[in-house]
Structure 1
Amino acid sequence: IKWIEAYLTNRTQVVKLDGHVSDPLAVLSGVPQGSVLGPLLFLLYINDISSVAAEEGVQVKLFADDCLIYATITKLDDQLKVQNCLKKLDNWCRKWKMSINYSKSTYTHISKRKTIHSFPYSIGGHLLVHAQQFKYLGVTITRKLSWTEHIDNVCTIAYQKLYILRKKLEHASRDVKHIAYTTFIRTILEYSAVVWSPHQATLKKKLERIQRLAARFICSTYRRKESVTLMLQRCNLDTLELRRKKYRLKVFFQIIHDQLKIDKFKYLHPPGKINPRTNHDCVIKPYQTNTDMFQYSFFPDVVEMWNKLPNAIVVLNNVTDFENAVEAHLRDC
């Protein structure tokens, strides 16, 4: 503790511009940005904020300086609990001298109902804006849990970056273009795709179209008569849909083998009975779904894929071996 105290106290900062240095100014709060200890110390400082929400039965998720609270609303009393939670969060921030960015604070009702009983949520005397959608950790979430808006945003950004690469790397080698695409564009198309992987053909095509344009860019061939499928094969580019399936199965494997901090017993259960002729040794009880939204969400979708895998794949213990085997299996399907 003395080391941390010495690290944080009596610090000063200066501004250096064109060889001129300002007078030193004492740093009275905060943690040194860019330091190894900075993020850890910040998390320790705000760690007990979760207990504030728990007092009202409201769930809270923290990631760095992002705070998301959510609750199931069925009656007015539930809305009042959320409002009380917001008030306590504001009091906590005032006590510990943490500021809230009110302009970025919104609330959203996630529901299939056309009419929703609204509530004037506020924090620190500021009324929260009722948003139809919001971004959380880079993923656009809508009130109906549709991924269309998120995919539209992703595709727009990817198109813009691909246009820039075509201008900047017009005369670059195929290898350089390939690396540029997989580094700067495909990562955008696949960020958090384990969560939002679409089932609609139109959305799948929208994503694949960008990779097909990228294949033309990599091969420097824009003639319509040229086969884009052959270009993709020459560039060793699997379809984005195949890669999304592979990554969903990989995450599922990690959950089953306790490699991720997700309670598998909360979401996964053994089946009532196993048919040795149609089921492998590690079969999971399928989800009963009534809507496409739920059916194609992560757990129902990946459990169905998992149960269809060959026994030789599901019994593997190493995640790399599993990923390679799944990739080969999906290519053969």
Structure 2
Amino acid sequence: MARRHERTHSTRRLIRAGVPQGSTLSPLLYSAYTNDIPRPSSSGVQLALFADDAALFYGNRNRSTRFTLLPLQRAIDELGQWFRKWRIEVNPDKSAAIQFKYGKIRSRLIVDKNTPNLKMLDANHPWQRNYKYLEVTLDKNLNFRDHIERVRNTALFYKARLGAVLGRKSKLSRHNKRTIYKMCITTVMRYASLVFAHAAPKALHRLQGASKRLFDIAGSHPNALLRAVVDYQPPPTTHLIRRPRNVLTDPPDALTAAVESLNDVNGTHD
């Protein structure tokens, strides 16, 4: 291996361990390396692994935090012994403990008073109010407001950066604009949407408002059909569904009328 900076090379050294970054063998070798990771012996404690992330979780109907400390700490100690055996270093800055509580009464305290911290390899892991795990921000009440706010800000940031590309003055085709929107913005807003889809409508409304701001770009587009899509309001849930026999006689909705008028204009120019 040698480092290169412009036309200068460092001294070449032989690699005796490890694999190149991004190698296709890395996931397979890591799975084989962690295959003997110990499963928790404590009843009720489960271990979740995804890539190089590990999580221990334990469910208890008792609302007191002290009832969850003993089995969790025992499982953490077992993992710590395995880490020492295989010389795996754990970054304490990327480790945290969080307690989820469900109830009508929401406490402002993260955990009960005088609750000790969990420890791994002689390092304290303080209790957190929220923590980002696999790019999903989990809060202690599981209302996902912090996650929705973070996703909203990220989507608006990308929208501001791509404004010149997605704007009406851009020379890109609508197909390319739609592709950029789906690749850079939609993926951010829909990532792990099944996890926070049950959040309160008030919290989801902020995310919906951010998506509407993205469609406002099409509101100033010279194409009348795109402007009609922006202003389109779906019928309420209590609206009666038209029967097939009445489709030909009922008046069309606003979007259908805009499409028909646009077709008439194009037909006259042809």
Does TM, normalized by the shorter one, top 0.5?
A: yes
Query: How many Å separate the matches in 1 of 2:186 and 2:36?
Result: 38
Q: CA deviation at 1:227?
A: 10
Q: 2:140 is matched with which residue: 140, 143, 167?
A: 143
Letter of the 1:210 counterpart: A
Q: 1:45 to 1:25 in 2, by over 3 A?
A: same
Larger radius of gyration: 2
Per-residue CA deviation, residues 255-280 of structure 1 (Å, 9 max, x unaligned), is xxxxxxxxxxxxxxxxxxxxxxxxxx
Query: How many Å separate the matches in 1 of 2:117 and 2:202?
Result: 37
SS in 2 for 1:130: coil
Letter of the 1:230 counterpart: A
Q: 1:220 to 1:193 in 2, by over 3 A?
A: same
Q: 1:230 to 1:32 in 2, by over 3 A?
A: same
Could you say which residue in structure 2 is the equivalent of 1:43?
31
Per-residue CA deviation, residues 4-47 of structure 1 (Å, 9 max, x unaligned), is xxxxxxxxx22122122222333343333221111111111012
Could you say which residue in structure 2 is the equivalent of 1:188?
188
Letter of the 1:43 counterpart: S
For the pair 1:25 / 2:25, whether they are aligned, the reply is no
Superposed counterparts of 1:239-318, under 5 Å: none
Greater relative contact order: 1 or 2 (C-alpha under 8 angstroms, separation 6 or more)?
2
Per-residue CA deviation, residues 178-198 of structure 1 (Å, 9 max, x unaligned), is 221111111111001012114
Gaps of 5+ in 2: 235-270
Q: 2:51 is matched with which residue: 64, 68, 77?
A: 64
Query: How many Å separate the matches in 2 of 1:120 and 1:202?
Result: 34
* 8 Å CA contact 2:166, 2:217 repeated in 1: no
Could you say which residue in structure 2 is the equivalent of 1:89?
79
SS in 1 for 2:89: coil
For these two proteins, the number of residue pairs brought into alignment is 219
Superposed counterparts of 1:170-185, under 5 Å: 170=167, 171=170, 172-185=172-185
TM-score normalized by structure 1?
0.59
Gaps of 5+ in 1: 1-12, 240-333
TM-score normalized by structure 2?
0.72
For the pair 1:152 / 2:149, whether they are aligned, the reply is yes
Q: CA deviation at 1:200?
A: 2.9
Letter of the 2:228 counterpart: L
Per-residue CA deviation, residues 104-133 of structure 1 (Å, 9 max, x unaligned), is 111001113636442321111111121101
Could you say which residue in structure 1 is the equivalent of 2:121?
124
Could you say which residue in structure 2 is the equivalent of 1:273?
none
Letter of the 1:72 counterpart: G
Could you say which residue in structure 1 is the equivalent of 2:258?
none
Per-residue CA deviation, residues 30-89 of structure 1 (Å, 9 max, x unaligned), is 33322111111111101222xx24223321111111111111244746412211221221
Superposed counterparts of 1:178-257, under 5 Å: 178-218=178-218, 220-221=220-221, 230-232=228-230
Query: How many Å separate the matches in 2 of 1:37 and 1:211?
Result: 39
Q: 1:202 to 1:195 in 2, by over 3 A?
A: same
* 8 Å CA contact 1:216, 1:231 repeated in 2: no
Q: Percent identity?
A: 25
* 8 Å CA contact 2:218, 2:230 repeated in 1: no
* 8 Å CA contact 2:165, 2:177 repeated in 1: no
* 8 Å CA contact 1:139, 1:150 repeated in 2: yes
Could you say which residue in structure 2 is the equivalent of 1:133?
130
Query: How many Å separate the matches in 2 of 1:92 and 1:233?
Result: 59
Letter of the 2:20 counterpart: P
Query: How many Å separate the matches in 1 of 2:187 and 2:230?
Result: 17
Q: 1:106 to 1:209 in 2, by over 3 A?
A: same
Query: How many Å separate the matches in 1 of 2:179 and 2:121?
Result: 48
Q: 2:88 is matched with which residue: 98, 105, 114?
A: 98
For the pair 1:166 / 2:163, whether they are aligned, the reply is yes
Query: How many Å separate the matches in 2 of 1:161 and 1:176?
Result: 16
SS in 2 for 1:119: coil
Q: 1:219 to 1:78 in 2, by over 3 A?
A: closer
CA RMSD in angstroms, aligned pairs only: 2.8
